[in-house]
Structure 1
């Protein structure tokens, strides 16, 4: 396919469709936040952590051993995941356990995995 085949040479063909979509378009702040959400998922270490937490609740030490990384590196990535509202934690004595924030995160991650395996 030539590059010319994918370029539209008209101004607007379906103005009714354009207007209908424009009415439903989310505001710029929401789209910016959505882009940031996907940026957080754009890091392979964070994706590996999410995969582990999709399997089971885990503490920093166990994630570090699983991924062959330092506890400091894992903690840094978990902070990013917490700030993005993708993971939550609970304390049991001195141990902090991490898990996925909710079923939405689980569904997004698992759907993504299904998609790449097609």
Structure 2
């Protein structure tokens, strides 16, 4: 592999950054959580709406959301008696979009692009 001799290489991520990224990928390695994040990347939902959209029991959705929230991937706000969830920020939305675009290329045979 070619590596330039000058200082034009990007700085290596810190150990803390790598650890946080690995934790996020671990959270997203579950199919239900990835599907939840796809929905939450496109809008706000309460637990009941998410459960209905995915066909998953409410208690299971709540447990997955708790993990995603503790991992910093989702945030909440109260709307009356309901707690509404959404993807935390544009970085998280972009991550979900890109990994699913990558998966689409893998399963559909769409040519890769640089």
TM-score, normalization by structure 1: 0.76
Deviations 1:20-79 (A, max 9, x none): 86x932232321221111111111010010111123211001111111122111110001
Distance of 2:43 and 2:13 partners within structure 1? 34
Richer in helix (by share): 1
State yes or no: 1:60 paired with 2:47: yes
What RMSD over aligned residues (CA atoms) do the two structures have, in Å? 2.3
2:10 is the counterpart of 1:30:
no
- CA–CA separation in structure 1 for the residues paired with 2:99 and 2:38: 11
Unaligned runs of 5+ in 2: 106-114
Query: Equivalent residues in 2 for 1:37-52 (5 A)?
Result: 37-52=24-39
Taking the aligned partners of 1:74 and 1:81, their CA distance within structure 2 comes to: 10
Gaps of 5+ in 1: 1-12
The match for 1:84 among 59, 71, 81 is 71
Between the two proteins, the alignment pairs up a number of residues equal to 105
Partners of 1:29 and 1:40 in 2: CA distance: 17
For 1:95 and 1:28, the matched residues in 2 are separated by 38
**Residues 79-118 of structure 1 mapped to structure 2, 5 A cutoff:** 79-118=66-105
Classify 1:65/1:32 alpha carbon distance in 2 versus 1 (closer, same or farther; 3 Å): same
